[in-house]
A and B are shown apart, each in its own frame.
Chain A
Amino acid sequence: MTRSVRRTRRPRRTPTVAAAAVAALLALSACGSADSDAGGGGAAEKLSGTVTVFAAASLKESFTALGERFEQAHPGTRVTFSFGGSDTLAASITGGAPADVFAAASPKTMKTVTDAGGTDGAPATFARNRLEIATLPGNPHHVSALKDLTAPGLKVVLCDRTVPCGSAARTALDAAGVDLTPVSYEEDVKSALNKVVLKEADAAVVYRTDVRAAGDKVEGVDFPESARAVNDYPIALLKDAPNAAAAKAFIALVRSADGRRTLTGAGFVEP
């Protein structure tokens, strides 16, 4: 209620500080989206309503921050997120869930949506993620490479190979020639990480971004084979997007210099 009242009170084209900020932001991001159908006057276009973003669980921290920045830059808009396993999200989108934007943790899951004709235009890679070993704080078992994970008595959890982090871990382990039997194949990367955070497992192979997000509850160990299993993160506007204009602007923000800074700050690698 209050939001709509405020919106009607403010004259549409008054060059307030906020509007200037919007214009600057759109100008910054314009290089990323040249297909703006609003033409030259696009910067003055007033965005409103809710943008629904379905995003991979590993994007939670960075996208939440970008969502808040988007709402500040575009008063009257709201960004709502549904974070989850990319495959689950892809299945809900092809099943008809009303979403505007899909950001997946792997090209394979994005492909299930594009194959079903669910996206508007081709998806763009906006970030990359690498694997890291998450160990207990202080690395008490002195893990420095993948082969150290096979030490007897060490409890290691991996993601199940049906989810992106699991297939990436499998690729890296194969590249290192390490035959590892974990105590559990977890259903997604956050539950794999949580097993180490709760000290139930001694180590997990997860994304670098998850290690960052966990702060000092885990310690990250980089390993050279992670370069062999880099995950591309694609983002796309969805065909049946209820709020396509605002969705485009959000994608532009993710792909802008500002968006990249946020993503690399969270541990992602630039595409």
Chain B
Amino acid sequence: MSGPRGGARTAPLPLLLPAVAGLAFLLLPLIALLVRTPWSTLPDQLTSTEVWQALRLSLLCATSATVLSLVVGVPLAWLLARTDFPGRGLVRALVTLPLVLPPVVGGVALLLAFGRNGVVGQWLDAWFGITIPFTTTGVVLAETFVAMPFLVISVEGTLRAADPRYEEAAATLGASRFTAFRRVTLPLIAPGVAAGAVLAWARALGEFGATITFAGNFPGRTQTMPLAVYLALQNDPAAAIALSLVLLAVSIAVLAGLRDRWMTAS
């Protein structure tokens, strides 16, 4: 990121043209959304308590899902990048499966596993009286299921690019493998972890299919912004556009803020 003005002048045309086309393709639908936004009724939409309830729940659940993804996803990425075990290629493919699975199918799969009658869920219900569907926990789990692969892939890629000799040096100085991971590897891959976390957070924030299938839709408990937007779309497209705009504005504010603080180091 040194000297953006000088960089633009030297960008070769075969790179510049597709880049601009790509940017335009990504931005045009967003611009169309802005053009069609019913600005006059926007204040009414934004003062509704249901909107703020949904937004608060969205931020809470997406952040929880990201934290959960970090806690189990970073160790999983380390396992995939730094150890050798039979079937590692298969495990890596399985980790990316939620990316391929249509989210609604993911939601059904979660029900079959953690539902009241699910493979694991029936024991949770029988032994602890815990049922996950239709709860905020269910939203967090659905979002984690869909978002974590982004984090794992991103962190694993960074780990593979990082020089393992630093860890080996730490080991020769007497550090245990866990200490080396904590004191050497983690600071080394921090930008990759941050990038993965941002990806996972953004994916979780926009999650719709798995959430509505696994956790249902109840205002204040499981109705996140994407669900509110979808249901508003059924009979009030103007409200749906206004709601999407709120979600976009908040996510852009958060992502831009984080980028400046965390990721300029890379």
A185 within 8 A of B: yes
B residues near A183, Cβ cutoff 8 Å = 134, 216, 218
The smallest C-beta distance from A92 to any residue of chain B, in angstroms, reads: 12
Partner of A91, one of B212, B219, B231, B233: B233
Interchain CB contact under 8 A, A162 and B133: no
Name which of B233, B234, B237 has the most chain A CB atoms within 10 A of its CB. B234
Contact code string A170-201 (vs B, CB < 8 Å = 1, else 0): 00000000000011111100010011001110
A235 within 8 A of B: no
B residues near A185, Cβ cutoff 8 Å = 216-219, 223, 231
Interchain CB contact under 8 A, A187 and B111: no
A155 within 8 A of B: yes
Report the Cα distance A186→B218, complex, angstroms: 9
Interchain CB contact under 8 A, B232 and A162: yes
Interchain CB contact under 8 A, B216 and A162: no
Contact code string A68-96 (vs B, CB < 8 Å = 1, else 0): 00000000000000000101100100000
Report the Cα distance A200→B213, complex, angstroms: 11
Partner of B217, one of A85, A87, A187, A200: A187
Interchain CB contact under 8 A, A187 and B115: no
Interchain CB contact under 8 A, B232 and A184: no
B117 within 8 A of A: yes
Given A183-B216, A184-B134, A160-B222 contact (CB < 8 Å): no
Interchain CB contact under 8 A, B115 and A184: no
A157 within 8 A of B: yes
Interchain CB contact under 8 A, A155 and B234: no
Interchain CB contact under 8 A, A199 and B116: yes
Within 8 A of A (CB), among B214-243: 215-219, 222-223, 227, 230-237
Partner of A200, one of B117, B232, B236, B237: B117
Given A162-B235, A199-B117, A182-B133 contact (CB < 8 Å): no
B132 nearest CB neighbor, chain A only: A200
Number of interface residues of A (CB under 8 A): 21
A88 nearest CB neighbor, chain B only: B234
A184 nearest CB neighbor, chain B only: B216
B116 nearest CB neighbor, chain A only: A200
B81 within 8 A of A: no
Within 8 A of A (CB), among B233-256: 233-237
A238 within 8 A of B: no
Number of interface residues of B (CB under 8 A): 26
The smallest C-beta distance from B224 to any residue of chain A, in angstroms, reads: 13
B residues near A182, Cβ cutoff 8 Å = 218
Partner of A155, one of B134, B219, B235, B236: B134
B112 within 8 A of A: yes
Interchain CB contact under 8 A, B111 and A198: yes
A160 nearest CB neighbor, chain B only: B231
Report the Cα distance A183→B116, complex, angstroms: 14
Interchain CB contact under 8 A, A163 and B234: yes
B residues near A184, Cβ cutoff 8 Å = 134, 215-218, 222
The smallest C-beta distance from B158 to any residue of chain A, in angstroms, reads: 38
Interchain CB contact under 8 A, A160 and B216: no
The smallest C-beta distance from A90 to any residue of chain B, in angstroms, reads: 10
The smallest C-beta distance from B114 to any residue of chain A, in angstroms, reads: 10
Interchain CB contact under 8 A, A198 and B234: no
Interchain CB contact under 8 A, A160 and B117: no
Interchain CB contact under 8 A, B111 and A200: yes
A112 nearest CB neighbor, chain B only: B235
B216 nearest CB neighbor, chain A only: A184
Contact code string B183-226 (vs A, CB < 8 Å = 1, else 0): 00000000000000000000000000000110111110011000
Report the Cα distance A186→B213, complex, angstroms: 9
Interchain CB contact under 8 A, B216 and A157: yes
The smallest C-beta distance from B209 to any residue of chain A, in angstroms, reads: 10
Report the Cα distance A91→B115, complex, angstroms: 33
The smallest C-beta distance from B226 to any residue of chain A, in angstroms, reads: 11
Interchain CB contact under 8 A, B234 and A87: yes
Interchain CB contact under 8 A, A191 and B234: no
Report the Cα distance A198→B222, complex, angstroms: 19
Interchain CB contact under 8 A, B212 and A200: no
Within 8 A of A (CB), among B93-140: 108, 111-112, 115-117, 133-134
The smallest C-beta distance from B71 to any residue of chain A, in angstroms, reads: 27
Closest 8 CB pairs of A and B: A184-B216, A162-B234, A199-B117, A183-B134, A87-B234, A162-B235, A185-B217, A200-B133
15 A-B residue pairs with CB within 8 Å = A88-B233, A91-B233, A91-B237, A160-B231, A163-B234, A182-B218, A183-B218, A184-B216, A184-B217, A185-B219, A187-B212, A198-B108, A198-B112, A198-B117, A200-B115
A87-B234, A162-B234 are known; give 7 further A-B pairs, CB within 8 A. Answer: A155-B134, A162-B231, A184-B218, A185-B219, A195-B216, A198-B108, A200-B134
Interface residues, chain A, with chain B CB atoms under 8 Å away? 85, 87-88, 91, 155, 157, 160, 162-163, 182-187, 191, 194-195, 198-200
